[in-house]
Chain A
Amino acid sequence: MTTATLDSRIQQFQDNFRTVREEVGRVIVGNQEVIAGVMTCLLARGHVLLEGIPGVGKTKLVQTLADALHLKFSRIQFTPDLMPGDIVGTSIVREDESGRKRFEFQPGPVFANLVLADEINRATPKTQSALLEAMQENSVSAGGATRPLEQPFFVLATMNPLEMEGTYPLPEAQLDRFFFKLRMGFPGVDELHEVVDRTTRSQDPAVQRVLRQGDVLEMRETAREVPVARAVQDYAVRLTLATHPESDAGHDMARRYVRFGASPRGTQALILGAKVNALVNGRVHVAIEDIRAVALPALRHRLMLNFEAEAGRVGADDIIARILEDLRA
């Protein structure tokens, strides 16, 4: 592959990314950073945990993205009585023409490219764990067989932060499997006007399918190939270690407020997210700036805060921001 070919691939990546973003932006008002974050996760082979109050467009965002990407989309509404079989599928007895009965696997909604796990923290831990294997291994074990999931496989889970009654908080291990945790904020005045204008007319805005499945897979490959200098990677490592209270490199804020720091998956997320971010910004290498850009969504759900942080209302975002401020490049 020549550099000219590579240049064109990178240009194609940028164009595709921009096109999808614009297409989704025709339906979703504002939240451009969230849209970019979701796209980054999709291209970095990760999964997204979306947090936001009800009605800000979390589900709509995923639906729109699925429409724009020409991917198979399924939605799972998590409820307390949801069973693992409802997600991964189940074997049913089926009678053939000769009258013989046999078990046949009926795939669940997880067998799709884009899976929206709505209000994931309403299901029991057992059901949440069923999704866990699919997210991590990209395969499902059911009916005595392991069945691979079709690529790209992208889980986008939403979590409602207000309604804590009757919910099961996601365990740390499951939280760690999400590449990014994105927060959808409440729209501003102008944005709210725009939402009302778009959604109260006779016709909803339509989304065109601008990307095919193969394009997404190719973009994923391209993102993985972006080289990272050791000095830049070192920054990601130091950033991760700074979140560890027991580490010599631990930041003072981490020592005071953090019980457990970010896992190695956090460092991986930093680098992979930075690679996508570098390409989006027209760079053929990863810069420290790219790591800083993805640090908040990549690390905020990986910090386990202690009681003092809870009592002092110190959030993970505050701690990460402070570390980013103090950590020298």
Chain B
Amino acid sequence: MAEHDIFIRTLDAVGARLQRNRVLRVATGAVLVALAGGILAAWLQWSMGPGAGRGPLGFSGVVLLGLLAGAAVIAWPTRWERASRAAAAREADRRGGTHDLLVSALEFRAAQAATPWTTLVQQRAAEAAAALDPRRLVPVRLPLLAPAAVPLLLVLAALWSLPPRVAVLGAGEASAAVRGDDAALAGELRALAEEAARRGDEAARAQLDAALAALDQEGQSDAQRRRALDAARDALGRRALETEAQWEQLRRVAQSLEGRPEMREVARALKDRDAARAAEALRKLAEQRGESAQPDQSAGAQSKPEALAEALEGAARETREAQGETSGRFQKAVRGLEELAAKLDLQQRANQAARKLDAKSLSLQRAASMAANRYGQQEGTPSGDGAPDTGSANISGGTMFRMGAVAQEKEASAREGGRAGDASGSAQGSEVVGEQPAPRPKATYQLERIAERPGAEAAEVDDVFYAASRQGEARVPASAAMPVYRGATEQAMSPERITLRHRALVREFFNRPTESSATP
């Protein structure tokens, strides 16, 4: 009896160790899955860029913790799933080399009637079980896959420690991003235009309105927008040149005023391009002379360089003349300088807007370059040049190819005739810089007549290719064709896959492999 107890105790010990190993196996698998999920989440987080949150406590950390919790929930019940004695006996037989002795003994133990044979089997099983050490038989070990957690952890840590990914956007994404911050620039341009209108600077207003239109118009391709932005920027740039020329003229006036001590302060302010300071100095000078220096609103536009220079020189001359003999030139000069200061302020802000327009145009160009490079990688031919146009839709095979072709600056015929727009059928090509959209080729069907047909009437018109198919009579009726086909199929589908009429030949061939009968 004691021997039998040893047998059962051994099986229970083996079962317990098997269960521990299973728990370890399940837990390891769950942790590995969780780590893999965490890596995936960390990669997604990294690829989403700086806005997705970094570090273990970010999105990926939450995902990892969630997966680990799920793994624990899955693995925990296995702790109570005890291995059956039969399974333990089977495993002990396998590992202990007892040749199914324990399995047999366990079964015979449960049997009602014991025979000398089954008794002998159980005796031998008890002896074998006593000789088995469950610890050595089933060592509790981490699964072989457990070390894989280390590289996974390293990968996860590396992903967490990576700097935020610099967004490399596609053409459509780039366009969206560029349009996303258009609103701020448009507001700035709109304020400038209103101020220009208030000041009566129609030329500046027209240029700013054009830039606004370039930003506000929806449905434009990036190339069109870039072209409008460039035009607005150029217009604002030209205006800056005009201002420079005006300053140059005023600089010469300032040089002539330097010789007069009373006008030296005005001249210095003009040299420093500070119109407001020059106006203030001139006003002070007029007050010293007892003259009202309030700007004369009816004096007309004095901000033009010639009128301003003349007013300043006139004011300078008046300083040498007796007090009270003024001719109102001071008022004109002060007004002209104040107008110039306001105009310069507007110009300065317009210059800033022009720089922003330039930056925006550049970003559009970069997006086009990226699209071109991507297309080049796709095609295996690197694109060295910047892309003038990329289209606006991410339709692979359609606009994508077409915009790649455009990006590579191929001829219009090569673009439309290639596999780009026409191949996809529905892709609408973007407008090409400096050209009209290329016309889509139309399929033409050439009608050809059969030269000679006996008995054909001259008036018949159905002897052409591409004529519509018509219903006609079959040569072999389906009722006659189907049984033949079915019979052949059934023959061929026999287990041997030999048709009936060849079976005798094949059988003969295998039954009589002599030279005389070798050839069926």
Interface residues of A (CB under 8 A from B): 1-3, 5-7, 164-165, 169, 225-232, 259, 283-289, 306-308, 310, 329
CB distance A169 to B511 under 8 Å?
yes
Q: Shortest CB–CB separation between residue B115 and chain A, in angstroms? A: 7
Cβ of B496 within 8 Å of any chain A Cβ, yes or no, is: yes
**B466: chain A residues within 8 A (beta carbon):** none
Question: Contact between B498 and A287 (Cβ–Cβ < 8 Å)?
Answer: no
Beyond A6-B116, A165-B512, A225-B117, whether A287 also contacts B496 by CB under 8 A is no
- Contact partner of B101 (CB less than 8 A), chosen from A5, A7, A283, A329, is A283
A308→B497 contact, CB < 8 A: yes
Q: Does B165 count as interface, using CB distance less than 8 angstroms?
A: no
Partner of A3, one of B100, B105, B123: B123
Contact present for B103 and A283 (CB under 8 Å): no
23 intermolecular pairs with C-beta atoms under 8 Å apart: A1-B116, A3-B116, A6-B117, A164-B511, A164-B513, A165-B514, A169-B511, A225-B117, A226-B117, A229-B100, A229-B107, A229-B108, A231-B100, A232-B100, A232-B103, A283-B99, A283-B101, A285-B117, A285-B121, A288-B100, A307-B498, A329-B90, A329-B94
Instruction: Establish whether residues B90 and A227, one from each chain, have CB atoms under 8 Å apart when the complex forms.
Output: no
CB pair B498 A227 closer than 8 Å: no
Q: Are B497 and A307 in contact (CB under 8 A)?
A: yes
Per a CB cutoff under 8 Å, which of A5, A227, A232, A307 touches B496? A307
Which residues of chain B from 77 to 107 have a CB within 8 Å of any chain A CB? 86, 90, 94, 99-101, 103-105, 107
Q: A306-B496, A307-B498 are in contact. Are A230 and B107 (CB under 8 A)?
A: yes
Q: Is B510's CB within 8 Å of the partner chain A?
A: yes
Q: Is the CB of A285 within 8 A of B495?
A: no
Residues of chain B whose beta carbon lies under 8 Å from any beta carbon of chain A: 86, 90, 94, 99-101, 103-105, 107-108, 115-121, 123-124, 495-498, 506, 510-514
A306 touches B117 (CB 8 A): no
A229 to B108, CA, bound (A): 7
Given contacts A227-B104, A229-B103, A307-B496, is CB(A284)–CB(B512) below 8 Å?
no
Q: What distance in Å separates the Cβ of B517 from its nearest Cβ neighbour in chain A?
A: 10
Whether A2 contacts B116 in the complex (CB less than 8 A), given A165-B514, A230-B107, A232-B103, comes out as yes
A304 to chain B, nearest CB (A): 10
Q: Are A259 and B104 touching (Cβ within 8 A)?
A: no
Complex Cα gap A119–B277 (Å): 133
User: Can you name the residue of chain A whose Cβ is closest to the Cβ of B108?
Assistant: A227
B495 close to A287 (CB less than 8 A): no
CB-CB nearest 9 A-B residue pairs: A229-B104, A287-B99, A307-B496, A287-B100, A285-B104, A229-B107, A3-B120, A285-B121, A227-B117
**Does B118 lie within 8 Å of A227, measured CB to CB?**
yes
Asked whether B117 lies within 8 Å of A284 as measured between CB atoms, the reply is yes
A329–B86 alpha-carbon span in the complex (Å) = 13
- In the bound assembly, the distance between CA atoms of A12 and B85 in angstroms comes to 34
**Contact of A284 with B124 at beta-carbon distance under 8 Å, contacts A164-B513, A230-B107 already known:** yes
Question: Please, which residue of chain B has its CB at the minimum distance from the CB of A167?
Answer: B511
With A285-B117, A286-B104 known, 4 other A-B pairs at CB within 8 A are: A6-B120, A231-B100, A284-B121, A310-B510
Complex Cα gap A6–B124 (Å): 13
Q: Collect the chain A residues with CB atoms within 8 Å of residue B497's CB.
A: 307-308
Q: Is A231 a contact partner of B119 (Cβ separation < 8 A)?
A: no
Complex interface: chain A residues within 8 A of B124 (CB): 284
Given the complex, which residues of B lie within 8 Å of A307, measured CB to CB? 495-498, 506
User: Bound state CA distance, A7 and B497, in angstroms?
Assistant: 56
Q: Which residues of A contact B104 (CB under 8 A)?
A: 227-229, 231-232, 285-287
Would you give the shortest CB distance from B18 to chain A, in whole angstroms? 16
Min Cβ gap B87→A in Å is 11
Kindly provide the distance from the CB of B500 to the nearest chain A CB, expressed in whole angstroms.
14
Q: Residue of A at shortest CB range from B86?
A: A231
**Residue ID in chain A nearest B498 by CB atoms:** A307
* B100:A227 contact, CB within 8 angstroms: no
In whole angstroms, how far apart are the Cα atoms of A175 and B421 in the complex?
Answer: 73
Please give me the residue from chain A that is nearest to B99 by CB atom.
Answer: A287
Set of chain B residues within 8 Å of A283, measured between Cβ atoms: 99, 101
Q: Is the CB of B101 within 8 A of A285?
A: yes
Given contacts A307-B506, A308-B497, A227 and B511 within 8 Å (CB-CB): no
Inter-chain contacts of B512 with A (CB < 8 A): 164-165
Report how far A294 CA is from B200 CA in the complex, Å. Answer: 112
Q: How far is the CB of B215 from chain A (nearest CB, A)?
A: 69
Contact A227:B121 (CB < 8 A) given known A2-B116, A259-B495, A307-B506: yes
- B119 & A3 in contact (Cβ 8 Å cutoff): yes
Tell me whether B103 and A306 are in contact (CB under 8 A).
Answer: no
Most central of A169, A284, A287, A288 by chain B CB within 10 Å: A284
Please indicate the chain A residues that have their CB under 8 angstroms from the CB of B495 in the complex.
259, 306-307
Residues of A within 8 A of B506 (CB): 307
- A165 nearest CB neighbor, chain B only: B514
B106 CB, nearest partner CB in chain A, Å = 8
Residue on B with the closest CB to A278? B99
Determine how close the nearest CB of chain A comes to the CB of B239; give it in whole angstroms: 84
CB distance from A294 to the nearest CB of B (A): 15
Cα(A7)–Cα(B514), bound, Å:
57
CB distance from B505 to the nearest CB of A (A): 12
| Residue in chain B with minimal CB distance to A10 | B120
Chain A residues with Cβ below 8 Å from B115 are: 227
In the assembled complex, the Cα of A169 lies from the Cα of B118 at a distance in Å of 44
Q: Are B120 and A284 in contact (CB under 8 A)?
A: yes
Give CA–CA (A227, B101) in the complex, Å: 11
How many whole Å from A124's CB to the nearest CB in chain B? 16
The residues of B that contact A228 with a CB separation of less than 8 Å are 104
User: Which residues of the other chain, B, contact A169 by a CB distance below 8 angstroms?
Assistant: 511
Chain B residues closer than 8 Å to A229, beta-carbon distance: 100, 103-104, 107-108
Q: How many angstroms between the C-alpha atoms of A3 and B114 in the bound complex?
A: 12
Q: Determine how close the nearest CB of chain A comes to the CB of B90; give it in whole angstroms.
A: 7
In angstroms, Cα B101 to Cα A230, docked, is: 12
Residue from A7, A231, A288, A289 in contact with B120 in the complex, judged by beta carbons closer than 8 Å: A7
Q: How far apart are the CA atoms of A228 and B107 in the complex, in Å?
A: 10
CB within 8 Å for A231 and B116 given contacts A259-B495, A310-B510: no
Give the distance in Å from the alpha carbon of A169 to the alpha carbon of B105 in the complex. 45
Q: Which of A1, A5, A6, A285 is the one whose CB lies under 8 Å from B100?
A: A285
CA distance in complex: A284, B101 (Å): 9
Q: Smallest Cβ distance from A92 to chain B, in angstroms?
A: 38
Q: How far is the CA of A230 from the CA of B100 in the complex (A)?
A: 11
CB of A329, distance to nearest CB on chain B (Å): 7
Report the bound CA distance from A6 to B120 in whole Å: 8
Q: Which residue of A lies closest to B510 (CB)?
A: A310
Q: How far is the CA of A1 from the CA of B116 in the complex (A)?
A: 7
Closest to A231 in B: B103
Q: How far is the CA of A257 from the CA of B91 in the complex (A)?
A: 34
When C-beta atoms are compared, the residue in chain A nearest to B101 turns out to be: A285
